Structure 1
């Protein structure tokens, strides 16, 4: 059985009639288009920074979990979500525990964006990110002659960078050399 083609002109004419005439139809259509354009014309720089921070942290989180658990299969193939990866972190490790609230807040920010398309990082978000005392101290020390930006997006960017360093540190050849040097100097152990 073949379905006959529709007549677009007849459909448009009937839809306008059902809506109460051209004026009412096009006023409603314009209002709908305005709502769509409002959502479309968001601040793409803000959206991009939020998504970049989230993707960046997830990249280093995934690498960290793979290095910490070398027999673990592919998380990509297993389709492990960001939140599931976060739940796999060993919170008995102090550096990880310190950044965990911020990582969870980063995910919440990204989820807010996904569910309502409103691209905002609030002062409350920044406050949670700055709860990691080491992050806050290092951020302040990085620019001693100037006050670190309090813009929540700048705090988010800095937190993502700090988090990547935390995830990288344990398995970094540079940090391993530093740890060995500290051990040798501090405890008088010979180089091997």
Structure 2
């Protein structure tokens, strides 16, 4: 076969495990489930941008979609299988070499994203509470994808707080009497119990 074989690809999709919804686009097949799993199947003989390593093979790529930032970066998400093996064996190899690990890692990534979202929601609530305690704060939030968590900072004329990625924060003051600082730290400590404070 030297060109895209639509019938071959349709039969391959039929043999795959999982409740996939297929979209046949040009020279590849996009597969997706209602849970967000995503596979791309390419016919190496028909794909316009294939290199020599793809010829005579089915190239399978797994995507994590909305959970990509939370998936293990070491996960091997692309495999190549010779078309000569036939659709049944190709489907079996896709399951053995990719899908079993993919489904497991997808679930783990989904769990990690939910945990990060929960931490972000908790952080936001804490920041609002801190603003209520001190008053007159401005607030900024910057998401750093390499750390997968928000980085929060708050500032007023005399008091500042910077939340770190490990759920601690540094408190800084200027032009504030020492006894006021001590009271402020005690108040924050009581309201945000369990968080480490460092006053500078």
Task: Report the TM-score when normalising by structure 1.
Answer: 0.32
- More strand by proportion, 1 or 2? 2
Normalization by structure 2: what TM-score?
0.31
Q: Which has the higher helix share?
A: 1
